[in-house]
């Protein structure tokens, strides 16, 4: 299913993943590793990977995170990736849980 994503959709997915890394206001090493793994899985090129790297230093802009812009066909994929991100460090905080719940509600 990842291969079905367009370039724009792959970057959109990574924006959401990075925003979930920031949900508790701290990007941990395990979360960085997860992002790197996703960069490889999505086969992002060097420029795309660099752009994603900036979102680990500064969260993606809220204007770029409209759940209603997630294509309906890919919503479950985005939710699954968000779940993987928040559990990647072995701790699921209240902020992460709330963010995921909100994304679930908005993508129904």
Q: Does pLDDT of 1 surpass 90?
A: no
| Tens-place pLDDT, residues 48-103 | 999 999 999 999 998 999 999 999 999 999 999 999 999 998 888 899 999 999 99
Each residue of 4-44: pLDDT tens digit? 899 999 999 999 999 999 998 989 999 999 999 999 999 99
Query: What was the pLDDT predicted at 93?
Result: 87
pLDDT at 91: 86
* Inter-CA distances, 107 with 7, 17, 45, 76, Å: 21, 15, 28, 9
What lies within 8 Å, CB to CB, of 4 at 6+ separation is: 73, 74
Domains of the chain (ranges, CATH numbers): 2-106 (1.10.3680)
pTM: 0.91
């Amino acid at each position: 299913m990842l291969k079905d994503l367009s370039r724009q959709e792959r970057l959109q997915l990574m924006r959401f993943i990075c925003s979930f890394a920031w949900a508790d206001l701290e990007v941990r090493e395990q979360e960085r590793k997860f992002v790197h793994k996703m960069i490889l899985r999505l086969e992002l090129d060097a420029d795309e990977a660099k752009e994603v790297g900036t979102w680990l230093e500064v969260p993606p802009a809220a204007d770029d995170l409209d759940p209603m812009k997630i294509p309906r066909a890919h919503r479950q994929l985005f939710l699954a990736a968000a779940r993987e991100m928040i559990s990647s460090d072995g701790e699921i905080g209240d902020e992460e849980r709330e963010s995921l719940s909100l994304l679930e509600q908005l993508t129904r």
